[in-house]
Structure 1
Amino acid sequence: MITEIAQIEVNPGQEQEFEEAVAKALPHFLAADGCDGVDLHRSVEHPSRYRLMVRWETVEHHTVTFRGSDGFAKWRSLAGPYFADAPQVEHVHSVLAP
Structure 2
Amino acid sequence: MILEVAVLQVKAGLADEFERNFKKAQAIISSMNGYISHELQKCIEEDQKYILLVKWETLQAHTEGFRGSDAYLEWKSLLHHFYDPFPTVEHYEAVDLS
Q: How does the TM-score come out when normalised to structure 2? A: 0.93
Q: 2:27 matched to 1:27?
A: yes
SS in 1 for 2:44: coil
Aligned-residue identity in percent:
36
Structure 1 position 79, deviation (Å): 0.8
Matches within 5 A, 1:15-54: 15-54=15-54
Corresponding position of 1:73: 73
SS in 1 for 2:84: coil
Corresponding position of 1:2: 2
RMSD value, Cα: 1.3
Aligned residues: 97
Structure 1 counterpart of 2:58, which letter?
A: T
Tell me the distance in 2 between the aligned counterparts of 1:96 and 1:52.
Answer: 24
Query: Any stretches of 5+ residues in structure 1 without a counterpart?
Result: none
Corresponding position of 2:92: 92
Query: Any stretches of 5+ residues in structure 2 without a counterpart?
Result: none
